Amino acid sequence: MSVSRQPGSPHPRLPLPEGQPDDLAAFQQWLSDAIPMVSALGISEMTRHDDSLTWQLALEPNLNDKGTGFGGALSAQTTLQGWCWVTLWLRERGLARDVVVAEASQRFLAPVTNDYRLVCKPTELNGPEQLANKLADRGKGRIALTHQLYCGETLCLEASGNYAVLPSR
């Protein structure tokens, strides 16, 4: 169900999972309601494994004029995926906090010519632990994430993002 709202009006938060993993299908539906462009990005599946978040995506809704992946759409997907990684990580810990992207960059290595997968994980192995410590000590923190986009076995894009968890309101 899509909720109509005006700019500047926040979307209601998804209730935190109580002692169980997030239902990623329900999270994806909430995400599509909260951020209208999500339903047009072609995300067919979200999975989590250890510290990674993987999306399967369709190329068709992200085509450019050359018939390959549109760089702007791919960049938006990496930024959104990082936001989701941090949001889901917080939700696992029973925290409902605001997350924002502080910095992002992309490197395009090969054209995206077919459906693809996008993998997001912490840049540093101890990144999640460092973020947990910063949240405990200061009530806010940042984490660097790395994204890799694969079309088949070909690495087509590498991206990085720095995401901030804001203090509780």
Answer yes or no: CATH 3.30.2350.10 is held by domain 24-165.
no
Q: Which of 70, 49, 66, 65 is nearest to 57 (CA)?
A: 70
Parallel, antiparallel, or unpaired for β 99-108 and 116-122?
unpaired
Per residue in 140-151, pLDDT (tens digit) is 999 999 999 999
Tokens of 15: 């209730």
Distance CA 166, CA 169 (A): 9
Task: Sketch the domain layout of the chain as residue ranges.
Answer: 24-165
**Nearest CA-CA partner of 121 in 146, 141, 102:** 146
| pLDDT tens, the chain, 169 aa long | 444 667 888 888 888 887 778 899 999 999 999 998 999 999 999 999 999 999 999 999 999 999 999 999 999 999 999 999 999 999 999 999 999 999 999 999 999 999 999 999 999 999 999 999 999 999 999 999 999 999 999 999 999 999 999 998 7
pLDDT at 5: 67
Kindly report the pTM of this predicted structure. Answer: 0.93
Instruction: Measure the CA–CA gap between 109 and 159, rounded to whole angstroms.
Output: 11
